[in-house]
């Protein structure tokens, strides 16, 4: 599957978010990796797939919502590796599938819809309970996912004081923490509202408890996948200024948060920031036409 991914297109782009204190901000453009397996998704999946192969599994079962980046990335990755894939989707089957789920089906994924109550316990329906399938948690959460996520930093210099990322399950953030040096700090921007258990989820995946990290809960814009006009305006302005597209679920909130934190003098003078562009641009297709200029 490596041959299908454009690792040579991953760049580190300098952007202008800092207006004072000599703070620099770069972006690791993982969104350039692949149109479908975008951003951090392959990194989180890579060692799960390796383990599934070593166990001679015939397919992957995983979980997600109607616009899940993880679902479509898993479908495409399994197709490229000649593995079957099953997506257990949160909620009743809609009359019309989202663009994400339609594309996942095109990549060969079998979609199974379960109630939101059953989804809370990640219940696997009896017809697909089989030792032939390897199960991956929602969003790739787990020690193996964090191990894979840590390898994304192999594609950038190691001279940053801070790594900054948007946080869903916390898998990527844990990987960044595990990869970072003791003198570096990882800042996570939670995209969910009142997700008080997220810190503990990350802590479970961190291998060195002496590492410094901080999860910030103030930039969810009303909750997961919420997008008030102020957020969309910021994303459009960011694109005009930098040419970098963002998504309203994750990276738009990340860029906004870091910009605001710089203005509030959160980072010490001279800080060198690396923002992780975790992809996910396909989710923007759920917005009304014209909402974004890219």
Helix (H) or strand (E) holding 41: helix 41-54
DSSP single-letter state for residue 163: E
162 by Cβ neighbours in 10 Å (0-12 / 13-18 / 19+) ranks as: buried
- Band (pLDDT 50/70/90 cuts) for residue 1 is very low
279 φ/ψ angles, rounded to the nearest 5 degrees: 75, -140
Q: Give the domain ranges of the chain.
A: 2-39+142-286, 41-140
Average confidence score pLDDT of the chain: 95
The stretch 114-125 carries a mean pLDDT of 92
CATH classification of 41-140, choosing from 3.30.43.10, 3.40.50.1100, 3.30.420.40, 2.60.40.10?
A: 3.40.50.1100
- Neighbouring residues of 60: CB distance < 8 A, sequence distance ≥ 6: 48, 49, 52, 74, 78, 83, 84, 85, 86, 133, 134, 135, 136
CATH number of 2-39+142-286: 3.40.50.1100
In this predicted structure, the answer to whether residue 89 has a pLDDT above a threshold of 50 is yes
pLDDT at position 3, please?
54
The H or E element that residue 47 is part of is helix 41-54
Confidence tier at 4 by pLDDT (50, 70, 90): confident
Domains 2-39+142-286 and 41-140 share a fold: yes
- Tens of pLDDT, residue by residue over 25-78, are 999 999 999 989 999 999 999 999 999 999 999 999 999 999 999 999 999 999
Identify the three-state secondary structure at position 155: helix
């Amino acid at each position: 599957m490596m041959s299908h991914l454009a690792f040579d297109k991953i760049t580190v782009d300098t952007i202008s978010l800092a207006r004072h204190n000599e703070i620099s901000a770069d972006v690791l453009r993982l969104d350039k990796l692949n149109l479908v397996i975008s951003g951090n998704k392959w990194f989180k999946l890579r060692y799960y797939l390796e383990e599934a192969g070593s166990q001679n599994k015939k397919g992957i079962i995983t979980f997600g919502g109607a616009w899940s980046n993880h679902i479509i990335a898993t479908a495409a990755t399994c197709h490229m590796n000649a593995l079957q894939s099953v997506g257990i989707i949160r909620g009743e089957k809609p009359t019309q599938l989202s663009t994400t789920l339609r594309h996942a089906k095109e990549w060969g994924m079998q979609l199974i819809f379960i109630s939101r109550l059953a989804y809370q316990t990640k219940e696997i329906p009896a017809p697909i309970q089989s030792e032939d399938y390897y199960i991956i948690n929602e969003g790739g959460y787990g020690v193996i996912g964090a191990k894979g996520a840590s390898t994304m930093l192999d594609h950038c210099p190691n001279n940053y004081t801070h790594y900054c990322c948007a946080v869903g399950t916390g898998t990527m953030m844990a990987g960044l923490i595990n990869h970072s040096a003791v003198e570096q700090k990882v800042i996570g921007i939670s995209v969910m509202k009142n997700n008080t258990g997220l810190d503990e989820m990350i802590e479970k995946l961190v291998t060195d408890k002496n590492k410094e990290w901080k999860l910030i809960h103030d930039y969810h814009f009303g909750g997961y996948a919420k997008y008030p006009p102020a957020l969309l305006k910021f994303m459009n302005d960011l694109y005009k200024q930098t040419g970098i597209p963002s998504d309203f679920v994750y990276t738009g909130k990340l860029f906004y948060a870091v910009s605001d934190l710089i203005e509030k003098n959160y980072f010490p003078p001279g800080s060198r920031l690396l923002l992780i562009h975790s992809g996910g641009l396909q989710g923007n297709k759920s917005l009304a036409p014209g909402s974004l200029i890219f």
